[in-house]
Structure 1
């Protein structure tokens, strides 16, 4: 959050409080409302939680009868202009409840009555309200709230107040709103058509040419929708088709597509040019319309958006209203962006206020999730949640319990950042159709008696709290597991006080019979398994193709033995990627570095027929590391590339290292690349 954002929030808070106790003087009140509108115009749509809080006093004050039903017309227009900005900011969500929104629309529509008076003090505000209503499509909510009489009143205001000087922005906004209201209406009542037909009567000499032009353009652009309604409406009004201009006849006969340019009555050359321009834009818009895309492509596009953003497409049109409810992929995320707060914000915020803000945002997120789940119309294949959640987050228990009844979920991702991790409920283990599970900063506190995941092929366990026994039980009950990302750090294993309970490397490997991609860390190796090297290796990881070890340590009693066992058990390895923990090497004495070097004679039976790439990051050129590289070079007949990313600043040392590696026995003509970090 920038300093200007902080200042804007503070000013909006202050003006909102001032608006809660408005001055009695009309002039003073108009001055305050002008300030409110100016500040609101600087707020982007869908602002941060802190801005929503700053807006709350203004949102509440503007809807009070003392302002929204003020006796002064200019005050009412100014209030409507402020509320119009509020609807823009919160779109597509409504800032008020249904009854309040009906009053809001009544106020907004009343401002359109004075659009003809260009000399009015509030003229610019009226045009701004109109343009905002057109842009944010607030008329969609009017249709949902069944404000039929209000829509007819709006049409009448448009046709009575439109003037030649409105061609630049007002005319297009009026036309857009009227056309789209007709297109989005499920049925077209006679009352909605009555003002349009009245302005295209041949004998109606009281109609301005620009108003007739507006009416004709709306009829032509809505021809397909209006065709079945127009003749019955004319009959209901006691009129005949001959009473109206040729536009009405063309709409009824379906000939508007070929005769639109002939049927458009213009008031001037400027209007004619404007009509041509609009028609060209319309043609391009039709060609590029998302609605014309196949449903599968629309679904793919919506799946790429966070669910909250996908839901916002509901405001595009009635046709789009519920498209998002059928997407199979749900993504929710929320994090209080502490990094964007200035130090002054922290200083001013008490612990109680900070806790309240976090609680409010958490409640808002879970309410949104429940609403989405309630509106779901199709199966859920993927569910992703990123948030701060601790062990008291019982709302998440209810969501996971609800999802456990959905037998179509294939991918579940929970990334829950908190020092006091959320405890995973047993209901998760009833998601038997899961193929992909990602857990971060969770705790699995259950005894190893639960069923595993028979269909799971990919598992990510990142910084979770779990016992060794429970971890092995989970892995052994995922018989189809092909990809494992296992990063658990020191202190995260439950039961560290019993080091003698550590399993051997082989016990771990037996749990991964079909594993193809394995990522783990040196910290986990040290905490999870024993340091001993068995004489025989009964387990075989024959499917393992890629192995990645982060924070690898060559100079302890765990890292190298584990890696040696892994290589011996993995004859089909294609890639080895190691990231050395540089701190481990720096803090270790030279004699210990020598102690853990590799003796090639002990690994004479290793033969990596399929290995084609070795990458080592933070390579320090210690003996243990160098001997390991020599081993791989000597035992890999199809090795194509060795990448050593080093911190070495001494080019002479780097050159000497390369000379050594180029002289050692190699089973293949491998390319050795040394890069700097």
Structure 2
């Protein structure tokens, strides 16, 4: 394996020029090699991989005019993420460019008839297993995360395979639970997915929405009331899971209020008066001159995606 990687590294030390078919074959060769490289390789293997990783982040490949080349390179980047996980293989700007390419490749999952579909599906499974979206959040790629989730709703609406559904569910669960703040742009499509009309019109979206609400209830509960008010909708418009979470939020709020000690207005005024008098007494002890101052995975790539969605 070491000799294969070193030979591949020598190939990628030369600039990638030529017709798209030649470049695509080179990227496919690197993709297979990376997929068979274990996670957390030895320092020797990492040194041998460096020329490959460097070559695959070249702008000429990231912005290549051929779609199949870009998707293949994105698949390579997914394998590099797996090999490097939980570390970061590139610097911040290079990682953002890599994620941009990966998100574009994932959008191809809404087109099962295209030649890129299988590569995109494999990339999606890898992306979900290594929880790469958490690195996107760490790098503050909010706009790119939102774009990715918008792609996912389109993909799910097209009734994807169980493998694709499982991976999308894992990624979106991680995004919702680990985001510091859930923006309206992220929440509104989720709410729309569980509108009662979508139980029949978009059953896959309905199913995903219910799963996400159930898994992320603790994170969604505090913002649900405001979201419904902003949209001008009622609980009757949505799946029962929304009403359940909403009622839990009301119960929690009432519980918090009942747990607060009751303080009469007389006691509050007395406490305030005592504080003022104490402050005045302390001020007299200060000399006049001072008073005048002011935060395991699979070890090998391309494991069978069917291992993931066992619960679906």
Q: Which residue of 2 aligns with 1:105?
A: 99
- The alignment yields a C-alpha RMSD, in angstroms, of 2.2
Alignment correspondent of 1:80 = 74
1:278 aligns with 2:279: no
Q: 1:277 to 1:124 in 2, by over 3 A?
A: closer
Q: How does 1:139-158 map to 2 (within 5 A)?
A: 139-158=133-152
Number of residue pairs aligned between Structure 1 and Structure 2: 252
Q: Is the 8 A contact 1:151 1:192 kept in 2?
A: no
CA–CA separation in structure 2 for the residues paired with 1:230 and 1:174 = 22
Query: TM-score scaled to structure 1, two decimals?
Result: 0.36
The equivalences for 1:244-255 within 5 A come to 244-254=238-248
Pairwise CA distance, 1:24: 2.6
Provide, for residues 6-45 of structure 1, a one-character-per-residue CA deviation record: whole Å limited to 9, x for no partner.
Answer: 322223223323xx42233111211111101001111111
Equivalent of 2:7 in 11, 16, 40: 11
* Cα offsets for 1:84-124 (capped at 9, x unmatched): 11111111111111121112112111122111222211111
Higher helix share: 2
> In the alignment, is residue 235 of structure 1 matched against residue 229 of structure 2?
yes
Residue 214 (structure 2) aligns with: 220
User: What pairs up with 1:544-555 in 2 under 5 angstroms?
Assistant: none
Match for residue 285 of structure 2?
Answer: none
Shift of 1:165: 4.5
Question: What is the rounded CA distance, in whole Å, between the counterparts of 1:130 and 1:13 in structure 2?
Answer: 26
Maintained 8 Å contact 2:199/2:206:
no
- Bigger share in strand: 1
Shift, 1:236, TM fit: 2.5
The Cα shift of 1:277 comes to 6.1
Structure 2: runs of 5+ lacking an equivalent = 250-308
Q: Which aligned segments of 4 or more residues in structure 1 are displaced greater than 6 angstroms? A: none
In structure 2, what is the Cα distance between the partners aligned to 1:214 and 1:14?
A: 45
Return the offset for 1:239.
Answer: 3.2
Report the Cα offset of residue 201 of structure 1.
2.1
Change in CA separation of 1:277 and 1:45 when aligned onto 2, cut-off 3 Å:
closer
- Other-structure match for 1:38: 32
Q: Which residue of 2 aligns with 1:133?
A: 127
Query: How far, CA to CA, are the matches of 1:165 and 1:155 in structure 2?
Result: 15
Matched residue SS, 1:254: helix
C-alpha displacement of 1:254: 3.1
Report the CA distance shift for 1:175/1:72 in structure 2 as closer, same or farther (over 3 A). Answer: same
Structure 1: gaps of 5 or more residues: 256-275, 280-677
- Equivalent in the alignment of 1:24: 18
1:501-559 CA distance string (max 9 Å, x none) = xxxxxxxxxxxxxxxxxxxxxxxxxxxxxxxxxxxxxxxxxxxxxxxxxxxxxxxxxxx
Which one scores higher on RCO, CA 8 angstroms, separation ≥ 6? 2
> In 2, distance between residues paired with 1:6 and 1:111?
29
Deviation at 1:180, TM superposition (A): 1.7
* Aligned residues of 1:152 and 1:191 also touching (Cα < 8 A): yes
Alpha-carbon distance in 1 for matches of 2:38, 2:129: 14
Are residues 52 and 249 of structure 1, via their aligned partners in 2, closer, same or farther at CA, if it must alter by over 3 Å? same
Q: Distance in 1 between matches of 2:52 and 2:132?
A: 20
Helix, strand or coil: the match of 2:311?
helix
Structure 2 SS opposite 1:115: helix
Which residue number in structure 2 is paired with residue 166 of structure 1? 161
